Chains A and B, each alone.
Chain A
Amino acid sequence: MTILEEQLESHPEGQAHHDEPRGLYLWLTSTDHKIIGKNYMYTSLVFFIIAGAMAMLIRTQLFSPNNHFVSPQTYNELFTIHGSMMLYLFAGPFAFGGFANYILPLQIGAPDMAFPRLNALSYWLYVTGGITMLLGFFTASGAAAFGWVAYAPLSSATNSPGAGPDLWIVSIMLVGFSGIFTAVNLVTTTFYLRAPGMTMFRLPIFVWNMFVTGLLILIAFPVLTAALIMLYVDRHFGAHVFSVAGGGIPVLWQNLFWFFGHPEVYILALPFFGMVTEIVPVFSRKPVFGYKGLVFATLAIAGLSTGVWAHHMFTTGTVLLPFFSAMSLLIAVPTGIKIFTWIGTMWKGQVEFRSPMLFVVGFIFVFTMGGITGVLLAAPPIDFATHDTYFVVAHFHQVLFGTAVFAGFGGFYYWYPKMTGRMFRENLAKLHFWVTFIGFNVTFLPQYLLGLKGMPRRIAEYLPADHYTTLNRISTIGAYITGAAFIIWMANMWISWRKPIKASDNPWDGHTLEWATTSPPSHHNFEKLPPIRSQRPVWDMNHPEYADWANPDGHDSSQPEKVGER
Chain B
Amino acid sequence: MRSKVSSEKSITEPNVKRSRFNIKGRNLAGLALAAVSLSACNLPTFGAFRGATTQGQNELHLWQGFIITAIFVGAITWGVLFYAVFKFRRRGSGNIPKQTHSNVKWELVYTIIPVLIVIGLFAATYVSEDQIDAVSSHPALRVTVVGFQWGWKFEYPGGVTLVPNGSIYPVLELPKGETTTIKLISNDVVHGFYIPAFNFSRYALPGVTNYFDFTPTTTGYFQGKCSQFCGLYHAEMLFNVRVVSPTQFNSWLSSQQKKVTA
Residues of A at the B interface (CB closer than 8 Å) are 72-73, 76, 145-147, 151, 153-154, 159, 244, 248-251, 284-293, 315-318, 321-322, 325-326, 329-330, 332-333, 336-337, 339-340, 343-344, 346-353, 361, 364-365, 368-369, 372-373, 375-376, 378-382, 384-385, 387-389, 448-449, 452-454, 456-462, 466, 543, 546, 548, 551, 554-556, 559-564, 566
- Give the docked Cα–Cα distance between A555 and B194 (Å): 54
Other-chain residue from B95, B118, B231 in contact with A154 (beta carbon distance below 8 A): B231
Interface pair A372/B73, CB less than 8 Å apart: yes
A154 touches B230 (CB 8 A): yes
B70 near A372: Cβ-Cβ < 8 Å = yes
- Shortest distance between the CB of B100 and any CB in chain A (Å): 4
Question: Could you tell me if B201 and A385 are in contact, using CB atoms closer than 8 angstroms?
Answer: yes
Are B231's CB and A562's CB within 8 A?
Answer: no
Closest CB of chain B to A313's CB: distance in Å?
A: 8
Complex contacts, B122 vs chain A, CB 8 Å:
322, 325-326, 329
Task: For the complex, count residues of B whose C-beta is within 8 A of A.
Answer: 81
Given contacts A159-B231, A250-B205, A321-B133, contact A337 B100 (CB under 8 A): no
B24 within 8 A of A: no
Top 3 closest pairs, chain A to chain B, by CB:
A454-B196, A459-B235, A388-B227
Residues of B contacting A388 in the complex (Cβ-Cβ under 8 angstroms): 192, 194, 201, 227-229
Q: Known contacts A375-B66, A384-B201: does B77 contact A351 (CB below 8 Å)?
A: no
Q: Flag if A562 contacts B103 (CB, 8 Å).
A: yes
Contact between A350 and B201, CB atoms less than 8 A apart: no
Whether B118 lies near A344 (C-beta < 8 A) is no
Q: Which of B74, B101, B132 contacts A287 (CB 8 A)?
A: B101
User: 0/1 per residue, B104-125, Cβ < 8 Å to A?
Assistant: 0111001100110010011011
Nearest A residue to B149 via CB reads A159
The contact of A290 among B49, B97, B107, B235, by CB within 8 Å, is B107
Contacts of A457 in B (CB 8 A): 227, 229
Q: Given the known A-B contacts A373-B70, A460-B234, are A382 and B225 also in contact in the complex, defined by CB atoms under 8 Å?
A: no
A-B contact pairs, 17 of them (CB 8 A): A250-B206, A348-B98, A349-B97, A350-B95, A353-B89, A365-B78, A365-B81, A373-B70, A379-B66, A382-B62, A387-B227, A452-B46, A456-B225, A460-B235, A543-B96, A554-B101, A554-B102
Does B129 contact A340, Cβ atoms closer than 8 Å?
Answer: no
User: Of A348, A380, A384, A559, which contacts B97 at CB under 8 A?
Assistant: A348
| A333-B114, A350-B95, A361-B85 as given contacts; A339 in contact with B77, CB under 8 Å | yes
Within 8 A of A (CB), among B53-88: 56, 58-59, 62-63, 66-67, 70, 73-74, 77-78, 80-81, 83-85, 88
Which residues of B192-228 are within 8 A (CB) of A?
A: 192, 194, 196-197, 199-203, 205-208, 210, 212, 223, 225-228
CB A294 to nearest CB in B, in angstroms, measures 10
Q: A73-B232, A329-B122 are in contact. Are A351 and B85 (CB under 8 A)?
A: yes
Residues of A within 8 Å of B192, CB to CB, are 315, 387-388, 456
Shortest Cβ distance from B81 into chain A, in angstroms? 6
| B90: interface (CB < 8 Å) | yes
Q: A340-B110, A466-B223 are in contact. List 20 more A-B contacts (CB 8 A).
A: A151-B189, A153-B189, A154-B230, A293-B107, A317-B202, A318-B205, A321-B133, A337-B107, A352-B90, A368-B78, A379-B128, A381-B128, A384-B132, A388-B201, A388-B227, A389-B194, A454-B49, A459-B235, A563-B103, A563-B106
Q: Is the CB of B100 within 8 A of A289?
A: yes
Known A154-B190, A251-B207, A361-B85: A458·B106 in contact at CB below 8 Å: no
Residues of chain B lying within 8 A (CB to CB) of residue A333: 111, 114-115, 118
Chain B interface mostly: mixed
Contact partners of A351 in chain B: CB under 8 A: 84-85, 88-90
In the docked arrangement, what's the CA distance between A204 and B188, Å? 51
Asked whether, in the complex, the Cβ of A293 is within 8 Å of the Cβ of B102, the reply is yes
Instruction: Verify B81–A361 contact, CB threshold 8 A.
Output: yes
Say whether B121 contacts A379, CB under 8 Å: yes
Flag whether B166 is at the interface (Cβ < 8 A).
Answer: no
Query: Residues of B contacting A344 with CB < 8 Å?
Result: 103, 106
B80 contacts which of A248, A343, A373, A448 (Cβ < 8 Å)? A343
Q: Which residue of A lies closest to B47 (CB)?
A: A452
Closest residue of chain A to B124 (Cβ to Cβ) is: A379
**Residue pair B78, A249 in contact (C-beta under 8 Å):** no
For residue B90, which residues in chain A have a CB less than 8 angstroms away from its CB?
A: 285, 350-352
Q: A452-B48, A546-B96 are in contact. Are A251 and B205 (CB under 8 A)?
A: yes
Q: How far is the CB of B184 from chain A (nearest CB, A)?
A: 8
Q: In the complex, A479→B228 CA distance in Å?
A: 24
Residue B99 interfacial (CB < 8 Å) = yes
Distance of B113 from chain A, by nearest CB (Å): 9
Contact B101 A555 (CB under 8 A): yes
Q: Which residue of B lies closest to A388 (CB)?
A: B227
- In the bound complex, CA of A172 to CA of B59 (Å): 38
| Residue from the list A250, A372, A555 in contact with B102, Cβ < 8 A | A555
A151 near B97 with CB under 8 A, answer: no
